[in-house]
Structure 1
Amino acid sequence: MTTRPHFPAHLQPEHWARATRWLVRKALAEFAHERMLDPIALGRGRYAVRASSGAAYEFSARVLPLDHWLIAPESIVRTVGGEVRDLDALELFVELRADLDLGPTVLPLLLEEVSATLSAQAYRWSVHQPKSSELVGADFQLVEASMREGHPCFVANSGRIGFDASEYERYAPEAAPDVRLVWLAARRERATLAVGAGMTRERLLAEELSDGTLARFERVLAERDLSLDDVHLLPVHPWQWDNRVTTTFAADLVRGDLVLLGHGDDVHRPQQSIRTFFNTSAPERSYVKTALSVLNMGFLRGLSAAYMEVTPAINDHVADLVRGDETLRASGFDVLREHASVGYRSPAYDAAAERGDPHLKMLAGLWRESPVPLLREGETLATMASLLHVDEVGGSFAAALVEASGLPAKEWVRRYLEAYLVPVTHCLVAHRLAFMPHGENLILVLRDGVVERVIMKDIGEEVAIFDPDVALPDAVERVRVDAEPPMQALSILTDVVDCFLRFLAAVLDEAGVLDAEDFWGVVREVLDDYEDAHPELAARLDDLDLRAADFDLSCLNRLQLRNNQQMVDLADPVGALAFAGRIANPLAEPHS
């Protein structure tokens, strides 16, 4: 008897139509923001985008500071040859291929990423999720799994090329699955374990694996005449085991350089970053970040074995700097150290592949501190990405937090900015240290709906030190970046102002909580207070000129549409940026 193929339940017309309108709205808004499209004003808040193919899109919109297009989704009307047609996100990109300069090497894969993003969004619409008001004070992982938006700038932001429909339900963060990691033993001559300050190999194993799990693994090793002393333990994403390790590294398994130990006993939950797992069995245990050779937002989400060798040292350096700074301590700002990492080098691939090759990023992992032990009585956690979350009935999580706090909206925003904007700005100004401080990379510590402090994560791969003169340990030298002050300033003006605060201002404005102009007024006041409190940094502030009238508009979608298989060379992140002129800076003092 043959079984009928599984049909994904979320692929229903009503969910697809809703996901389509969501994605078309985002594409029109972000491509207009990045000046790839130039909407024509029709009057009375109506605009039109007319493609060279003959298709046209008309919609109602308000344009907020930073050229943020707040488009009413139900107002979008598509016409082709003068006839009204249903919205179709795939057809949108085909119709705009000339206008967006989408060549034959980019467009087919882009359509696949768009289709996968639509599917992910349709899934989110198909399952019951809590209202935003119900997420206030909710469990950390419930908030994590309830997020609908993904990266706010990228249009094709949930591609995950490599997952099939059943794997999506088993591994996607919005499906909130329980996952048990696969564990391998890698012979020590082929693997490198690096640990940070205060950590040892023995302590790592004792803290992250139970006695029963270790005993089980030791029995498997004994059958191969090996012991724990002969190997390093390597956590592996189950998808990676099924789809990469058993084929790409089959020879290594046959030789015994890699030994399958089995699944771990702890239950983990995938995070918004897909390849990072939170331990739900023992929340005080570390996050585990694994290599995952799935294409998402312009990158295969692997982990470099070479990078892993210096990751703990980079984290220690950054943590010491942050924890030794009085201003940062006063704000409560902290980092979650990646305090141990492991990478495996297969001899054949190591000899054949050049730096950056995906084959060198398939077997590595790291352990990152959990934020749970840092909580005090009455505090809860939420990803900062949640501040942009809007539920299926239009309820804003940020607006719900403001209401729960009982504070005036301006005061709530001020406290949030003092916890987030001030510390990341101070790191750049005082220490020439820049993070990648987007929503998914920060964790909010909340009390009664108010942001008390924030915790930064994902340090090893996404931090930069712009100081050409400071002495750095050899292991940390990799993160030194040569850039002039205007480029350094973009780590705030682009990554914080344009790629996060722009969206938060729009969410609060659309919710009727705080007008966008008033929001930016609070941002300027907070920066005024910071500058007044640090006269010793006046010269450095002048060099960075964060309050300039305008700044270079750095465009993420332009990067992805230019090369959606290797969006940026991580060894030269500055040189890979794509710009589209300059944009008015909302941090500048408005003209009277």
Structure 2
Amino acid sequence: MKQNKDHIQYLDNYLFSKTFEELGAIEIRHFRITQDSEILHQWVNMEYAVFWGMQGYSLTQVEQEYAKLLQPDHYDIFVGVYNNKIVFVLEKYDPTKDVIGSLYAATQDDCGIHIIVAPPIVRIPNFTWYLFDTIMDFVFQDETINRILVEPDIRNKKMFALCQRIGFQLDKIVELPYKTAQLAFLERKHYQENKQIPKINKRSAMNTLDNAVSPQQSIAHLQPEVWVKVNTLFVAKAICEFSHELLIKPIVLEQLKDGWNSYILKTDNPTIQYQFNAKPLALNHLYIEHQSIKKYEESESVVIDGILFIKECRQQLGIKDSQMPVYLEEIISTLYGSAFKFLKGNPTSEELATADFQTIEQSMTEGHPGFVANNGRIGFDSSDYRSYAPEAGNSFSLLWLAGHKSRAVYAATDTLPYDVLIRQELDADTLKNFRESIQNRGFDPDEYFFIPMHPWQWFNKLANIFSPEIATGNLICLGYGPDQYLAQQSIRTLFNNTNPKKFYTKTALSILNMGFMRGLPLYYLGTAPKMAIWLEELLYNDPYIQETGFRMLSEIASVSYVNPYFEEFGVHNDYNKMLASLWRESPMTAIKGGQQPMTMAAFLHVDHQGEALLPKIISASGLTIGDWLGRYLKAYLSPLLHCFYHFDLVFMPHGENIIMVLEDHIPVHALLKDITEEACILNPDIELPDHLKRMYAPVPEDVKLLSIFTDIFDGFFRFMSHVLEAHAGFSETDFWSVVANNIHEYQDRYPEKEAKFKQYDLFSSEFHLSCLNRLQLNNHKQMIDLDDPVALLQFAGKLENPIAAYRKDLATAIS
């Protein structure tokens, strides 16, 4: 692989040139220390080049460093030139003669490279791709090279994105003396196959951002026009949801055409008010025309500010002074995220209709539809946000810890003992390295359980709070695992992007988000696998559940670490939920060829151009909206009705907790996740195993049906009908008619349950309004009591039932 080191003859000649029709020629020659070090010195001292590791170097130091690099026979350095300007520096070396060669199975036909690209002064579309394409062709012109290796700093996500765009495959993470690096390889055969694709292999818009961002990059999306837009959309949502929960009361000023009204909203300050146009829909929902919102102060129109809106309505909202600062921080964080999502370059709704599972997951912009402060994530800094937020789309590796069995607890189904699970999750080489790491510390690896952990949790919580356990060897940091994961909408549930059929991993993540510190309690995890088996035996043998295709993504194993310093403070103490992980079935194991999984939250998605995704999906299916909804409800609502009426079993089936499986854009079945803390049995007469007694919830009779009215009707259908009315011209009356028909079909199917249908009447004229935002405003750290889920619920009057008008006499229907 080595180029001739005696390259004086090449000083004025190029070694390689590649011409692109749309760009021109990019040429490569040897690096000249005396001539080229000055430009390189400028680059390495710029902020973007932090990962090159030479910031603060003088020109003399740069020259000395590169003179040293050129001494070994196995190391060469080149520059790329475009339009007579240097545009990259390429270092090329033999890994078998480098320290990196001891950290993986290096072979003689490997070639390692380092690349630094010039700062982008003139923006040329896809210019970096052209540079990389040229470099790969240059390296592979040497027929003795079969594989190219790169090993960027693990934080350098921009370089990973560029390399993956070319076709590099990510490999394991290694510890070098000067950095934690991730190996990535490009095989000649794979590169040549990619070259046959007659278009630029554009990297995903999801993977373009560095983990370690500069101060400027962290705020690049905070632009005046975008800030006004996201604040306006935020205020529209806040008015809708706060008025829905009867916290504020807009007053009709004037009736307009087609059911629209002009409204005024008075704030706590008599000199400040808002005006807007909206159409009232079912369930006390306002379809607000956000462009119509105006704010007036002393009769003067002023700029809309979402944070000020909360402060201006604080008395009406009933926010305590002690709660206000943290709530405002969550609002600001939500706005920060909204601006990022708006500018990040998501696919359009048209494109998402045919997109893959994870592209859709990363492209969601709204968050929870009901919560106003729904993207708090307090604890993340701006770099964490771009590293770990699902919308950032960055993949990352999990850290693995070893917890001594005197502290760690493993629980799983009978078919998944620890040794079986860990061999499924970690390859033989990684297991060998981890075991050797424990042995090198003087401990027995057989006395430990391996625990996957979110990197944020380690650096921000565990390394400090668990330091006594680390110092004594009860807890050992083993390093990064080889697989790459993507955060899902629930942020602490992680999808294995390297091996999609491997389990989801859900880890404790001690950030404050939407009313909870997102830990994982042993109290639930210890029984999760047994609950999974019990529920599967209960449901999967039922003919109706089989008919609908409904499935749970069962939580089949968990591992928790008990910190003895905090154990006495109760199972729900946040410090007792910091170190635990859960393995859940992957949806990809339940998908057949030609089927498309997507988060049900996508049915509410509206893109940055104002186009909704759901009408695009329905249009592509070839069905009418009514027929498509009928198929959707059979897959989603019908099995949940059956669980309630047949098994007295309820879940929390909101949009993010459901993965819909589509075939030819038509829903065929639903996959339910997040079961451990949310599945409840409502009937005390049902015999539960001793270890699952916690599943029973003593819920008042008039509250039981809220599992459908609140979680499904008010929590999802309210927004779904809005999307169809606003973006597809499908009236809410028609929507609720289809819902009523689905329920009638189910009830007609089971005439023997007539008494129960009457006792828990889905066609009752009204139902309790259970309020989500009131919960958060009341206690932003612990919205509900996990041991008594009804105790802290916030009710505010009643809602008119939108399907009450479709009631029919049950006796007549059944006869």
TM range (shorter): over 0.9
Q: What letter is aligned with 1:561?
A: L
| Cα distance between partner residues in 2 of 1:322 and 1:386 | 27
Cα shift at 1:512: 2.4
Q: What letter is aligned with 2:636?
A: Y
Aligned to 1:83: 300
Q: In the TM superposition, what are the counterparts of 1:393-408 in structure 2 within 5 Å?
A: 393-408=609-624
Q: What letter is aligned with 2:335?
A: L
Aligned to 2:589: 373
Aligned to 1:358: 574
Aligned to 2:511: 294
Moved over 4 A (4+): 1-4
Aligned to 1:519: 735
Q: Would you say 1:552 and 2:796 are equivalent positions?
A: no
Cα shift at 1:226: 2.9
Q: What letter is aligned with 1:13?
A: P
Cα shift at 1:568: 1.1
| Cα distance between partner residues in 2 of 1:5 and 1:153 | 33
Is the 8 Å Cα contact of residues 439 and 445 (structure 2) preserved in structure 1? no
Cα shift at 1:325: 1.3
Q: What letter is aligned with 1:418?
A: K
- Single out whichever of 503-512 and 211-220 deviates more from structure 2: 211-220
With normalisation by structure 1, the TM-score equals 0.98
Q: Deviations over 1:25-73 (max 9, x none)?
A: 1000000111111110011210111012122111000011111110001
What SS does the aligned partner of 2:383 have? helix
What SS does the aligned partner of 2:315 have? coil
Aligned to 1:38: 249
Q: Would you say 1:245 and 2:456 are equivalent positions?
A: no
Aligned to 1:68: 285
Q: What letter is aligned with 1:186?
A: G
Q: In the TM superposition, what are the counterparts of 1:22-61 in structure 2 within 5 Å?
A: 22-43=233-254, 44=256, 45-54=261-270, 55-61=272-278
Aligned to 1:178: 395
| Cα distance between partner residues in 2 of 1:357 and 1:374 | 36
Aligned to 1:162: 379
Aligned to 2:230: 19
What SS does the aligned partner of 1:98 have? helix
- Single out whichever of 25-34 and 479-488 deviates more from structure 2: 479-488
| Cα distance between partner residues in 2 of 1:549 and 1:228 | 63
Aligned to 2:667: 451
Is the 8 Å Cα contact of residues 184 and 234 (structure 1) preserved in structure 2? yes
| Cα distance between partner residues in 2 of 1:454 and 1:508 | 21
Q: What letter is aligned with 1:87?
A: I
Q: Would you say 1:506 and 2:722 are equivalent positions?
A: yes
1:414 aligned to which of 630, 648, 666: 630
Structure number with higher relative contact order (C-alpha < 8 Å, ≥ 6 residues apart): 1
What SS does the aligned partner of 1:586 have? coil
What SS does the aligned partner of 1:402 have? helix
- Single out whichever of 42-51 and 115-124 deviates more from structure 2: 42-51
Q: What letter is aligned with 2:430?
A: T
Cα shift at 1:468: 0.3
Q: What letter is aligned with 2:626?
A: K
| Cα distance between partner residues in 1 of 2:567 and 2:755 | 47
2:487 aligned to which of 257, 261, 270: 270
Cα shift at 1:81: 2.1
Cα shift at 1:2: 10
Is the 8 Å Cα contact of residues 197 and 316 (structure 1) preserved in structure 2? no
Q: In the TM superposition, what are the counterparts of 1:119-268 in structure 2 within 5 Å?
A: 119-268=336-485
Root-mean-square deviation (CA, aligned residues, Å) is 1.4
Q: What letter is aligned with 1:72?
A: E
Is the 8 Å Cα contact of residues 521 and 576 (structure 2) preserved in structure 1? yes
What SS does the aligned partner of 1:472 have? coil
Shift in CA distance, 5/131, structure 1 to aligned 2, threshold 3 Å:
closer
Q: Deviations over 1:468-504 (max 9, x none)?
A: 0111112211111011332110000000000001100
| Cα distance between partner residues in 2 of 1:336 and 1:591 | 35
Is the 8 Å Cα contact of residues 183 and 264 (structure 1) preserved in structure 2? yes
Cα shift at 1:315: 1.6
| Cα distance between partner residues in 2 of 1:582 and 1:80 | 34
- Single out whichever of 456-465 and 227-236 deviates more from structure 2: 227-236
Aligned to 1:435: 651
What SS does the aligned partner of 1:266 have? strand
Q: What letter is aligned with 2:783?
A: M
What SS does the aligned partner of 2:805 have? coil
Cα shift at 1:107: 1.0
| Cα distance between partner residues in 1 of 2:428 and 2:655 | 36
Is the 8 Å Cα contact of residues 315 and 339 (structure 1) preserved in structure 2? yes
Is the 8 Å Cα contact of residues 519 and 574 (structure 2) preserved in structure 1? yes
| Cα distance between partner residues in 1 of 2:331 and 2:695 | 33
Q: What letter is aligned with 2:222?
A: L
Cα shift at 1:319: 1.8
Largest Rg, 1 or 2: 2
Is the 8 Å Cα contact of residues 464 and 480 (structure 1) preserved in structure 2? yes
| Cα distance between partner residues in 2 of 1:105 and 1:410 | 48
- Single out whichever of 477-486 and 249-258 deviates more from structure 2: 477-486
| Cα distance between partner residues in 2 of 1:228 and 1:70 | 60
| Cα distance between partner residues in 2 of 1:344 and 1:15 | 44
Cα shift at 1:357: 1.0
Is the 8 Å Cα contact of residues 305 and 363 (structure 1) preserved in structure 2? no
| Cα distance between partner residues in 1 of 2:399 and 2:229 | 37
Q: What letter is aligned with 1:26?
A: K
Is the 8 Å Cα contact of residues 315 and 337 (structure 1) preserved in structure 2? yes
Identity of aligned residues (%): 41
Q: Would you say 1:114 and 2:325 are equivalent positions?
A: no
| Cα distance between partner residues in 2 of 1:472 and 1:28 | 44
Q: Deviations over 1:86-133 (max 9, x none)?
A: 000110011001111111111111110000000000000111111111
Is the 8 Å Cα contact of residues 362 and 390 (structure 2) preserved in structure 1? yes
Q: What letter is aligned with 1:31?
A: F
Aligned to 2:319: 102
Q: What letter is aligned with 1:20?
A: N
Is the 8 Å Cα contact of residues 197 and 339 (structure 1) preserved in structure 2? no
Aligned to 1:528: 744
Cα shift at 1:263: 0.7
Aligned to 2:778: 562
| Cα distance between partner residues in 2 of 1:213 and 1:509 | 53
- Single out whichever of 192-201 and 329-338 deviates more from structure 2: 192-201
Is the 8 Å Cα contact of residues 106 and 564 (structure 1) preserved in structure 2? yes
| Cα distance between partner residues in 2 of 1:383 and 1:413 | 16
Is the 8 Å Cα contact of residues 399 and 455 (structure 2) preserved in structure 1? yes
Shift in CA distance, 409/220, structure 1 to aligned 2, threshold 3 Å:
same
- Single out whichever of 406-415 and 74-83 deviates more from structure 2: 74-83
With normalisation by structure 2, the TM-score equals 0.71
Aligned to 1:328: 545
Aligned to 2:173: none
- Single out whichever of 465-474 and 156-165 deviates more from structure 2: 465-474
Cα shift at 1:570: 1.1
**Structure 1 gap segments, 5+ residues each:** none
Is the 8 Å Cα contact of residues 763 and 807 (structure 2) preserved in structure 1? no
Equivalent pairs, count: 591
| Cα distance between partner residues in 1 of 2:244 and 2:707 | 19
What SS does the aligned partner of 2:397 have? coil
Aligned to 2:798: 582
| Cα distance between partner residues in 2 of 1:136 and 1:38 | 37
Q: What letter is aligned with 2:288?
A: I
Cα shift at 1:590: 4.7
Aligned to 2:58: none
